[in-house]
Amino acid sequence: MNAEPVRTARLTLEPLAVHHATEMAEVLGDPALHTFIGGSPETPERLRDRYARLAAPPPPDRGESWLNWVIRLHAPDIGSDRLDDDPGSGSKGGSDSGSDPRAGGSDRLVGYVQATVAGDRATVAWVVGTPWQGRGIAGEAAVALVAWLRERGTTTIVATIHPDHTASSAVARRAGLTPTDGRVDGEVVWRSGQVRDRPPTTDRGSHEPWTVNGMDRVPRGPHGPWTRGRRGSHGPWTP
């Protein structure tokens, strides 16, 4: 399985590429974003190295697909006001900068999503940069990701979320996931679809040597690098 562009009303999920690193370093640059996902902001150079590794296929004996997308928000929504009743990515804190990176008339990157797929099961993660939180972007992206996976035969979707991360929990519910009694490194296992006997992946960066994954990773990053040190499904981020 390979990542493909996914469109929604306001967003395009673009397959991750090395050239996204410079802009994503800005998107993920707020230290407060990493409160729940772990890790810390990285330089464009370090992100380029990581993205190059993510672009490589996993070892054939793993039986997994590592899928990563960046979230592109289309104008004119870039400068829209926050939705106070929308939890967005749920990360704490905001930008102290005097300039608003949401301003301007062109499309721009605002976060990422990822999935580690093995058979009919996928572990997912999502993350949205601080300036764009509270506008439903994480939920819109997560819903699109889950729908895309289901169209390709995935029946079980799993994410792990810190019990205090209420915003990411809201995103998971919007995407059709429900909390279980399972725990991975203290995080609640959320699941959609058939319940399998196989436990959720605990190898945080299973598809990435780093493990600081996605970043908003509500999900620890199964293969990602972004999410909290591994919080993302393969490595990422999370809302």
Phi, psi for residue 23 in degrees, rounded to 5: -70, -35
Q: What is d(CA 10, CA 154) in angstroms, rounded to the nearest whole number?
A: 25
What pTM does this model have?
A: 0.74
Q: What is d(CA 125, CA 145) in angstroms, rounded to the nearest whole number?
A: 10
Q: What is d(CA 108, CA 86) in angstroms, rounded to the nearest whole number?
A: 21
Tokens 């909290």, residue? 228
- In Å, how far from its chain's centre is CA 40? 15
Q: What is d(CA 227, CA 33) in angstroms, rounded to the nearest whole number?
A: 10
Quick one: tokens of 118? 């093995």
- In Å, how far from its chain's centre is CA 130? 13
Tokens 């580690």, residue? 116
Angle between helices 137-151 and 166-174 (to 10 degrees): 40
**Domain edges within the chain:** 6-93+106-236
Q: Which letter does DSSP use for residue 76 in this model?
A: T
The answer to whether the CB of 193 falls within 8 A of the CB of 212 is no
Q: What is d(CA 93, CA 56) in angstroms, rounded to the nearest whole number?
A: 33
The answer to whether the CB of 227 falls within 8 A of the CB of 37 is yes
Give per-10-residue mean pLDDT for the chain (239 aa). 93 96 94 82 93 82 87 75 39 32 67 94 94 94 96 95 92 96 93 56 36 32 37 39
Q: What is d(CA 106, CA 109) in angstroms, rounded to the nearest whole number?
A: 10
Tell me the CATH number for domain 6-93+106-236.
3.40.630.30
